[in-house]
Amino acid sequence: MAVRSAVKSPTPPISTSPTAPSNVSMSLSNLDTDIRPSQSISQVECEVDRVEIKQKDETRSKERSWVWKHYLTTPESGTWRLGDKERSELKHLCIVSPSTCRFFRFPSKLRSSTTALKQHLQQTHKLFQDGHSGCQVPLSSWISKEKKLPFEEAVLNWIVSTCQPFTCVEQPSFKAMLRSAGFQDSVPSADTVSRRLCLRLDALDSELRILMSSASSIALSLDGWTSQNSLPMLAINAHWMSSAFQQYRACIEFVEIEGSHSRENLANIVATVLERFHISDKVMTITADNASNNDTLHRYLYQKLSQRYDGYLSETIIREGTMKFTRNSQIRCFAHILNLVMKTILRSLRASSHKEACDLLDDVAKRSWKTVKAPTSPIAKLRLLVLWIARSPQRIQKWDN
């Protein structure tokens, strides 16, 4: 017998030998390694068991596909090859509607793929993996497996990218939309969304600290404004290049200004951000508009950093280290300068301002053109004409026509 010769050992013969399984000779051909004479029967049986388990796993993998319960597999004459293995030909016949559907496929054409079988069930019979039928496609099928995100992560991305309020997830219409798309899990609350975004912000700060740790110098740009709900805001952007000359830009602070807009208050906000990201000694320049408080901010920040660091070109180092921020590190925004120049030119041409033109149109609405002194400047007249047309939907329609 082939098995006995394969496991023959130079040791003295044993009076009784265990009987090998009936399928050992068939399974031995599938072993990954050759059997050496020094191997015992128990080792051979372990190898055989490993092959049998592998074959069972492959069978279970095939049975796990949801499409097979809708197909009847029957043997056919002939064989086909997949790689170096020869297989018997089969026939997969759809049994969803035997009286009207005659769809079938051969494994030799499918090449171990169930895509064609699945597409037939979905397109012809409206059957899907989760068992529901009809034209409605489940929400999970909209996204490919490679790009599919956890639901909570996808909701956070949507809220951030579209500037939605946290309470949008608690709206009944939002939940109804998800249910209509087949989503049955619980939706996170507004408080949960807030906590998750705070955790994400902490993680992003950690990533930024790692990225900026390799930068030799960093440039800042900042701007302050009043929001539509009358909140004073300050945003700070950082710009730097990596050792591989890859350019980076990130918003490192977006905060409400509490208290007065004095130089001390603004400088303390900037200094706190620099300390949080460990870049106080790497900041080289700050770009801002021409507001007077930005001038005082620059001077006060320089004084504050000078108490901790020596200058970059100092002959002696007596403090924590050197800094690249100097008295001349302030860069004025060119776009803001150009805007101021154009406003001055328009003022010299008596073009008036947007507010003055709106006030004049308000007076005209209350009285009439005859009682209001109209401007004489061509630019002022053009501004009035544009604003007058824009104030009425009927005038806009006539202008478009």
Domain ranges of the chain: 2-10+20-63, 66-135, 214-335, 349-400
Rg (CA), the chain: 38
Mean pLDDT over 360-387 rounds to: 82
The pLDDT value recorded for residue 54 is 44
Mean pLDDT over 238-250 rounds to: 91
Backbone angles phi, psi at 71, to 5 degrees: -130, 145
CB 89 within 8 A of CB 77: yes
Backbone angles phi, psi at 81, to 5 degrees: -115, 140
Mean pLDDT over 353-362 rounds to: 84
Which residue type is seen at 118?
K
What band does 134 get if pLDDT is binned at 50, 70 and 90? very low
Q: What is the pLDDT of residues 33-83, one digit of tens each?
A: 444 444 444 454 444 454 444 444 444 444 567 888 888 888 888 887 877
Measure the CA dihedral 116/69/123/183, to 10°.
Answer: -120
Q: Is pLDDT at 213 greater than 50 in this prediction?
A: yes
CA angle, residues 66, 68, 74, in degrees to nearest 5: 175
CB 267 within 8 A of CB 273: no
Q: Is pLDDT at 244 greater than 70 in this prediction?
A: yes
d(CA 19, CA 26): 15
Q: Is pLDDT at 250 greater than 70 in this prediction?
A: yes
The pLDDT value recorded for residue 109 is 78
Q: Is pLDDT at 8 greater than 50 in this prediction?
A: no
Please state which of the ranges 55-64, 107-116, 204-213 shows the lowest mean pLDDT: 55-64
For the chain, give the mean pLDDT: 78
CATH pick for 214-335 out of 3.30.70, 3.30.420, 1.10.3470, 3.30.1490: 3.30.420
Only one residue has tokens 């006030």, namely: 359
d(CA 361, CA 373): 11
Q: Is pLDDT at 13 greater than 60 in this prediction?
A: no
- What is residue 113's DSSP assignment? -
What band does 347 get if pLDDT is binned at 50, 70 and 90? confident
CB 316 within 8 A of CB 310: yes
Q: What is the pLDDT of residues 266-290, one digit of tens each?
A: 999 999 999 999 999 899 999 999 8
Of the chain, the percentage scoring pLDDT greater than 90 comes to 28
Mean pLDDT over 219-242 rounds to: 92
User: Residue 100, class by beta-carbon neighbours within 10 Å (0-12 exposed, 13-18 middle, 19+ buried)?
Assistant: exposed
The pLDDT value recorded for residue 319 is 66
Mean pLDDT over 207-228 rounds to: 91
